[in-house]
Structure 1
Amino acid sequence: MKKNDASMKKKEKRKTKFEQLLEMETKNLVSARAEEDLELERKLAKKLKVKKGKLLSSDDGLNDLFDGFTAAAADDDGGETEYTKKRKKKKSPSSDDDNDDDVKLAVSARNKNKRRKKKSETSKSSAAAGEKVSEAEPDDVPDEEPKTKASVKYVAPHLRDRANKESAELSQIRRRVRGLLNRLSESNVESVTEEVAMIFRTIARSVGCQMIGEEVLASCSQGPRGNEQYAAVFAAFIAGMACLVGIDFSAKLIANLAKLFEDEYSKEDGLSLRNLTLLLSYMCIFDVCSSDLIYDLLSELSKRLTEMDVSTILTILECCGMKLRGDDPVAMKDFVFGIQSRVNEAKSLAENKQDGKPKLNSKRMEFMLETICDIKNNKRRSKEEPSHHARIKKWLQKLRNEDILLRGLKWNKLLDPQKKGQWWLSGEIASKLDNVEEMATAISKEVLEAQKLVQLAAAQRMNTDVRRAIFCIIMSGEDYMDAFEKILRLNLSGKQDREIMRVLVDCCLQEKLFNKYYTVLASKLCSHDKNHKFTLQYCIWDHYKELDSMELSRSMNLAKFVAEMISSFSLSLAVLKAIDLKDPEQLTPRRIMHFRRLMEAIFENNDALVWNIFTRVAVAPDPDPKREADLKSGLLFFIKNYVVATDSGKKVAGKFEIAKKALQNVAGVLM
């Protein structure tokens, strides 16, 4: 044994320094952990009120509570139960009993505050009955929180109503639109507008107008001070959307803008008010709304003329004042006189005050008056076509933004909560039929008118559904713009699109007296799509083949129709190249009468217009030079022999000399 002990001591002596250091580090670590355990034990003992291994306040009333239950059970059964026997055994001191009591007391310690409240509420009633108050009532146990609470996503208060109303799909679409608007800039306004228009077509029109309008106004009104570039981009987006999806989008958005404008005015939020004013001004510049609406807003502001009104007027005049002056100089003059008289009244009221404090900032007022005078005297630089908006304007011209201009709107009309139907149309008839009988009568009248139009279409040999639809639209249109928009909504394609001009010309020829309504509508269609121009040209040539058998009234209407189309430059005199005007065999009496009336109608225009009409033939490129030469010589021959040579031709002799010179005007110089 001694040898073994000696060998062990030698092995211990043979330990390397690394092993000794490792052993020391291990001992230090163990001691540190032991100290941490002791510190944790002291903290727990302090919280649980443990002293010398036992919990304080050992008498918590639980034993008395259970004794009451066991006593009642013993009375019922007539003796001691097993539960009472076990309970009595547990009263003997032992380590297990102490542990059980410690657990129960720990539970009661956690609910100490609740027990105190419960005890104070029930002490009076329990004292009267001579019963001891129990500190461990079942109501004291805290209710377990539902597990679903942790999985519910937090929703901001101002978004809770919207979250309850909108479906998940609409919320996703709203977030997508918001993301596109956040990236909107002058460089990507075309692509963003097209993408938002595609989203708009996938949902209901009313929902789309409301949702996209809210996001646009929120982006413009909220946030920091917006500049003119920011407002111009959003105004261009609104104009592009109106061109792609319809003018109802821009009309509803302007109505929401007016309501938000008044709300922000009542809150005296000058920053948001300026942002909305800039957006409205650029909507006027990009032809979304007319200058009449801006003048009406200026009139409303000049009546109140508070500090905020002066600031808003300045913003409008600095942004689009020169455009307002160019659109309606008379209205600008009336506004200038009105604002000057209102300012003088405000100054006189401020001077008559006892405290002597003016109501308005005199410097801001003077600056506003200087701006108005500069605009009146044409000394301000126009911001209608700045160089950095040239790209936007070119894009909107391709979309034909002149067709979406909202005319005849008034500021009070936008704020009217009773507006119904297509209230943004200038030809709208306000519906105020509160009586059911009157409404039924109005509907029956419309039905009778529609039936008459259908019968008239059948009488005019409109033998297809497309022709009947076009006929009813043309004949029932309130004006040419109303008929034009309704025709576009038909979305005709291919060969069906060719029926528009044929029905229009046929309606014009059926009139007893010539009506310029058809020429204005035809010119609008030709300027919208060049295919209508080619269709009209072929339609006229087909009627020229029937001149000998055509009724005289139809022939005269056709001559005036073609003359009006040539005078408006929707057609050229080249439409006459299908007729050889110098061939005596083709010039029958009916043909001579028709073309003589055509030339006389052209010569009724002023000298400059006659010069430009014939100059257009001189410079018009034609792949066949012979046919071009035949047209010029045929025109000169026919006018000289069948127009000027007549008794009434002496009045147009001077115009004929202008026409001869214009046909030689190869340089294309216009008057």
Structure 2
Amino acid sequence: MKTSKGKIKPQKQNNAKKSRKDIRQAKRLAKKAKRNEYYTNRNKIPGPVVPDENSVKPMKPTKRKSQPTNVAPHVKESTKPIADNSSIAKCVEKEKKVHNELKAVMNKQRHKQMIEANWEEDKNIKKLEKQLKLNKRKTKSIPKTFAEDGLDYLLEICDSDNRRDIIGTEMDTEKINDDFDEDFDLMMGKTSTSHNKPEDDDTDDEFSDESCNVDNTEDFSDDETMDVSACESGSESEAENSMSEDEEVSDGHEEELDTHQENLSKNEDKMVQDIYGRLRHADGSVVQEKNVSNKYVPPAARAADTDSTLLRLKRQIKGLINRLAESNMHSISSQIEALYNANSRHDMNETLASIMFENLIVSTPCPERLLLEHVLLVTILHANVGSEVGAFFLQSVAQKFCTILSEFVDNVEDKRMDNAVNFIAQLYNFKLFNSHLLYEVLTKLVDKFEEKHVECILNVLKNVGFTLRKDDPATLRTLIQTIQSKAAPELTNNNPRVKFMLEILLAIKNNNVNKIPNYDTSYSEHLKKITKSFIRTGNYVTQLNISLEDLLKADEQGKWWVVGSAWAGKRESAQLDQQTPVTAKSTFSNKLLALAKKQHMNTDTRINIFCILMSAEDYMDAFEKLLHLGLKNQQEREIINVLLHCSLSEKAYNPYYSVLAQKFCDYDRRFQMIIKCSIWDKLQTLVDCSPAQISNLAKLLTHLFLEKGLPISTLKIVQFGELDKVTLRFMRQILLGIILTPDAEQCQEVFLKVCQSDKLKMFRESLRLFIHHFLLRNLRKDGGSRMDEAQKSLLEGRAKMLDKLLLSANDRKRKLT
């Protein structure tokens, strides 16, 4: 082939020599293919090969690369050829045997490790039980943690005795359902034969209907009209019949006493030892020791024994008082309260007061912190032990003050009077008595008006001056005018104490705290705030209304503020505005007072309340008269207690008490709480009530629930899982009265109040189950209750409505969570 220049170009041959790059690439590809083939076929077991002599070609021996020195010997491939199937099977069996042996060793090791782990876990559990003190449970009762998790029923059902009790309870429940008609008749106002039985007629605790009928045509229907004008006349006939009734009751009590003695004689051999080491009979009564010596002790020996007891008591109290501080106030007050329970109150008051006066009323200035902590202790004992404790300290310090005041010599350095006045002022600051007594003390100081007395007045004004201004500003204004008139001559002598006192008075009058130098009441206010944390639930500080004259002449005229103490009465010179116990003897007739005595009204307050309830024209008249009694704090509870007593003592339900209780609930919320607490106390002793009392209480609560005086959640303390026959009938009567009320909206509003709280979920579920099991179940029985068809349909319809209402409340709460 010629080119454009005429030269011949050589043709490219296919068998040209390959470059080194192509050769290296070909080697790499071959090496990869060989390696891939090796790794693919090395795990395959070759089958039997039958060689053909004609087709078999002799194989040239190939050279193998030397293995690296760091490779383990067992990794090298075997160069021995596989001879036959038997050798292959032997290898497989050998490998299986080794695998099985290895597996057995591993299982054995795992089992050993599990045993060691379980042993270690048991050891940790015992250690934690010891730390949590869970291994000291001596009885075989259900653990608390089990009960909290809701698993206690699993242990109960495993016990055969418990299973028998459950079956017995179911049978008792069937019998209780047979009383449905009687409960329905009671709540619907029909007569029931159960109240006419002799065993239910407690004539000693009940009084006739004639003695408690109130005429109130405005608020009651004709069949509920009550007339109280026959109260006194009815009580006379009752008094005539009381003799025969008391004889029957006394005979019954004698029979019960004989039966009780027989039971004690039978159970003498069945004695057990309680946790305190005392022997008890089978009925729970403590066995009295027969080895107690009744030797005669001469007066000299008695006095020696008493002196040693008082000395030991003084040492105990002094040890506690010496360690008194805010940090250990709770423990020390609890120990002193225990001493009050174990010893005579007179000895305790005398000893404690003498020790405190030795520490506080001394000739040197008493530190404010020390004084306030002692006053706080007196306040706690005044609330927890009784008001007579605070009254005793008040009387003692008042007498101490008057003694120091009468024996005072012109000695400004003596601080006993200052400390006594400060003690009285701080007792007033902690609300142990009202301002009237402190004003009397200030008046005595103003009458003297020397340098020491002016200093004491200054201390009182700096500590509690603004509290006096708040409690009684009119009396403070009069006191300021008296001090200014007394201070006029002193100002001419340029007495600095008097000038300073007048400046303090002006600052208090104008309510100007900044004008008082070194004014700091932060610690006293702090102690007043934490006082409630040391007082037990249900107790409170009762403010005493005692005059200084009563305290100073208590040994002559008596202590009217102590329950059961004799009192000579007020003298003509005493102030008329001082509140004294109101006696009912001059206000009410003897017949009404005799009826009050028969109903165990043992205090003047209870007698006044009872007589007002029995003699009022209607519930409004009774309400106003009871408010005019001016009762405070704990005395207000007596109104509700007497009202409940009278309501339950009626043979037939009297709506007068329910309407009056509703009026008190509407008047102030504190009466609502008092009624609720009284109902809770009554529910604890419901088993001791007669059927008539249970029915009256159920109707009273039904009225309060429907009229919104009390919420139905008041019944949340009822243990629905452990209902006895009495409580079951009580709950059924209440629910029948609410469900069968004519106003459907009123019935629904009663249960709406419990649908708004997560804490009442269990109570809602309990109400649903109770309505289904003890109300609707009676309607489904063949030949069931005596209710007509209209009432049955009403009960079923209302029950379904309430079931949806309570169930929807639970679903709504569940969706929110």
Which TM-score band (shorter chain)? 0.3 to 0.5
Q: Which of the pair has the greater relative contact order for Cα pairs under 8 Å at 6+ separation?
A: 2
Give the TM-score, by structure 2 length: 0.40
